[in-house]
Chain A
Amino acid sequence: MQWEVGSALNIASILAVVIVIAAMLIWVERRLLGFWQDRLGPNRVGPFGLLQVVADMIKIFTKEDWIPPFADRFSFVLAPTIIMIVILFSFSVVPFAPGVGIVDSNIGVLFVLAMASLGAYSVMLGGLSSDNKYALLGSLRAAAQMVSYEVFMGISLLGVVALAGSFNLREIVVAQEGGWFVVPQFIGFIIFLIAGIAESHRLPFDIPEAEQEICAGYHTEYSGMKFGMFFVGEYLGLVLISSLITVLFFGGWQGPLLPPLVWFFIKASCFIAFFILLRAAIPRPRYDQLMSYGWLFLLPLSLINLLITGAVILLAN
């Protein structure tokens, strides 16, 4: 039984595919943005500019590994590795297809949420250890934003968990055989989507690294591969959030005709493209507006959603 959940082949191929996809997304995003913004985007290196990623990687790997003398060395180096590690850990519980996955955990949803919480440390440490005012402002913003939005993220998922009767992501997918959870849990889906963008801090929620305001925010002082890890980490986060939305609300690998993995890939790609489109379309709210939007609107909404879901399940039983 080679294709068994947790097999070595499984682990290796998932790790490789996920990282390659995250790296390729750099190219995909630039091309898509170019397409939507009436310009070309990278199209010089290789066919359609596909080798741009390779060129970027060569550049980023061969850059001087610079640590500013005023920075706190240990946490400065630690910060970018955290984001990579926790997101890759999160992928371990994602059920890509029947038999494709790393861990079949009974607490999959909780594990993902826990990892997301740890991810906040990366951004905070990165900003604090840099000893740079822009980075400090960025990590302050990141801390507030990520901690707040985790709350709604967690609550928004409880509806799905209640419907599926399990924290196991694989069982949640199986529970959607009769119909995707996006229908009964539409509000939960919207909240998770918003919180997901906030967690991966992409525009319009890129307040921790708002270029126009605080240069590059928490990673202002980073360069070379350490910056590359933040950068790829962001895309890994994007892939993760898209995969989770697919798993939790859109029936995971399920779909007619095509093989399960292909379905999963198609669904996740749609969300990735949607996130990129969002970036092209929407301006950035102000930090305090984002906070009050979260606490005064999303939190009550997610609580009401949970309440109604619970009531409906009780009544149905």
Chain B
Amino acid sequence: MRVPSAVSVTENLNAPVGVAVVEYLRAVFGDNILHEQVTCDRIPTLWFAREDIQHALTLVREQSFAGKRFEMLLDLTAIDERVRVNRTGQPASEFTVVYHLMSFSGNSDLRLKVPLFDDDLHLPTATVLWPNANWYEREVWDMFGIRFDGHPNLYRLVLPPTWEGHALRKEHPARATEMDPFTLDDAQTDIQQEALKFKPEEWGMKRASEDSEFMFLNLGPNHPSVHGAFRIAVQLDGEILVDAVPDIGYHHRGAEKMGERQSWHTFIPYTDRIDYLGGVMNNLPYVMAVEKMAGIEVPERVKVIRVMLSEMFRICSHLLFYGTFAQDVGQLSPIFYMFVERERIFNIIESICGARMHPGWFRIGGVAQDLPQGWERRVRELLDFMPARLDEYDSMVLNNGILKRRTQGVGVYTTQEAFDWGVTGAGLRATGYEWDMRKQRPYSGYENFEFDVPIAVNGDCYDRCAVRVEEMRQSLRIIKQCVDNMPTGDYKSSHPLTTPPRKEKTMQDIETLINHFLSVSWGPVIPPNEVSMSIEATKGINSYYLISDGNTTSYRTRIRTPSFAHLQMIPAISRGFMVSDLIAIIASIDFVMADVDR
């Protein structure tokens, strides 16, 4: 472990590519750039009028800047700005559409914003540039009622087709208690029943080809292999897949809406349930984003504790993936062995956090408690038993001939396709592209750790599994370094916005007492700002885009999850394969429906 450097790592977000792209856009659009906004995450943020946005996006997509390109549309979302108070300098807007583009080669981000007004909510689609814009635009339509001109099928994505209103608008109630009591009379039942009818045309599928009639198979929302409430409408010619259209939204709980309702502090446990296998790793991007807006620097000990627990959860999540992957290709036993290991890791996590799957243990400015006495012994036990078990699983699963034949060459995609569909994490690395947030943009002190980023070459189901298996070994390396080099010091920052605040001085001086009282009863007031914070989560890039309006709650909480993007590409990689292959493909993606629907 190296000595921590003084430079904040996020400084390099404003890389040469970022400068080059802003200069280029300035040269092309001149005064037509409505505004250049400064956000505390230092991502260049440019405002464009609706008329210019498609041109601007096309240029950014097709040109290279300082020799690098913006390969991925990382996120596309919107903000209901109508009741926002603090937006000095920003162009007038009632609804703002936000494009978050990412350059992997140049390691830089770019944010483009478009102001819109309630009486005229539409703008050109980006699906012609990035195929993954499809679902993102549908989601924005679903949640905000903003139309995208030229979108191939702008139907609701997450909410049911019969839903009234657009849920993330400020006037939409956040709780059922704010609405009229729910009733379901006969007329309503008929409407709902009618909406459930499967019409292939609405899904973009034909009923028959020239010489044969297709069979439509409804896989899910309850099916042994869809890993949660997830539905795929499969179009079959014999057992060959003609098309497979995913349908999501069965696990939607409105996490983003809750983010606008809960205080900054009380939202933390909700984040645990986004990728419910990632546990406290979900807290990390959220608390780091809030800390960035609040200007909190956390102590070194906190960083290392956070890294250690996150990596434990990475192992847990990957173990579950590993077992279910084997199970989905018909191998019954590995999952039971892996659950035993997972259980042992949960026991360690429990002894540290007090809870197992969803500890909600990170806090704004620190963690909930200091590490318990004797924690090293238990974590070292993990380091002792785990490597041998992983080797055993290699011979059981990865080296199994039947499993290889089932998964090699199945569900292949290239690095370019991965970029087009917004694939990150192990799915991207399996195509041979070495990119790991922890290496490229180290956060929470990852720059001080020695570990490798495993990659594979073929980008098929087998490789995606192999990459994750190797990642578990690397996580063990990181955990070992955490145990060997755990810094001493506080488990909480002394910053006044740290929540809950440190209690030592509350009974001695009035300022601290007042601060403590307010911070606990109302929650901290975060200064107005915008920030986006990404981490390398268990399944890919997980990013929180938070807007504070100078209040005790978030004005807008956008959660960009990896699984959402990954599911969208299922049709593209499964056409022409068989039903059994589809199951292998789904298993290899490693998604969690809570992470998709939020």
List chain A positions with a Cβ less than 8 A from chain B.
33, 36-39, 133-134, 137, 140-141, 203-204, 206, 210-215, 279-289
Contact = CB atoms under 8 A, between A and B. Distances in A.
A206 B330 CA distance: 9
Contacts of B400: 282-283
B326 interface: yes
A212 B406 contact: no
B225 interface: yes
B580 interface: yes
A133 B405 contact: no
A267 B390 CA distance: 36
22 contacts: A36-B333, A38-B337, A134-B217, A137-B217, A137-B579, A203-B332, A212-B225, A212-B583, A281-B331, A281-B333, A282-B331, A282-B402, A283-B326, A283-B329, A284-B330, A284-B402, A284-B580, A286-B578, A286-B581, A287-B239, A287-B578, A287-B580
Nearest to B405: A289
Contacts of B225: 212-213
A280 B330 CA distance: 10
A214 B217 CA distance: 10
Contacts of A285: 330, 402, 405-406
Given A137-B579, A287-B580, A288-B578, A37 B330 contact: no
B327 interface: yes
Contacts of A134: 217
B579 A39 contact: no
A282 B331 CA distance: 6
Contacts of B30: none
B267 to A, nearest CB: 36
Given A38-B336, A140-B239, A215-B223, 4 more contacts: A37-B333, A212-B327, A280-B332, A285-B406
A144 to B, nearest CB: 10
B513 interface: no
B332 A279 contact: yes
Interface string B225-250: 10000000000000100000000000
Nearest to B240: A288
Contact of A33 (B224, B239, B332): B332
Contacts of A281: 331, 333
B337 A211 contact: no
A37 B340 CA distance: 10
Interface in B574-594: 578-581, 583
A39 B217 contact: no
B331 to A, nearest CB: 4
B332 A133 contact: no
B328 interface: yes
Given A133-B215, A204-B402, A286 B580 contact: yes
Contact of A133 (B217, B328, B333): B217
Given A210-B580, A212-B328, A213-B580, A280 B402 contact: no
Contact of B224 (A38, A215, A289): A215
A129 B87 CA distance: 66
10 smallest A-B Cβ distances: which pairs?
A284-B330, A283-B331, A37-B336, A283-B330, A212-B225, A286-B580, A283-B402, A283-B329, A212-B328, A283-B403
Contacts of A37: 332-333, 336-337
A38 B337 CA distance: 7
Q: Which of B330, B331, B333 has the most CB of A within 10 A?
A: B330
Given A37-B336, A39-B336, A215-B223, A284 B329 contact: yes
A203 B405 CA distance: 16
A37 B225 CA distance: 20
A35 to B, nearest CB: 11
B224 A211 contact: yes
Nearest to A285: B402
A204 B326 CA distance: 13
A284 B578 CA distance: 14
A283 B405 CA distance: 10
B336 A213 contact: no
Nearest to B238: A140
A92 to B, nearest CB: 34
Interface string B318-336: 0000000011111111001
Given A282-B331, A283-B326, A137 B583 contact: no
A37 B112 CA distance: 53
A37 B331 CA distance: 12
B494 to A, nearest CB: 47
Interface in B208-228: 215, 217-218, 223-225
A212 B224 contact: yes
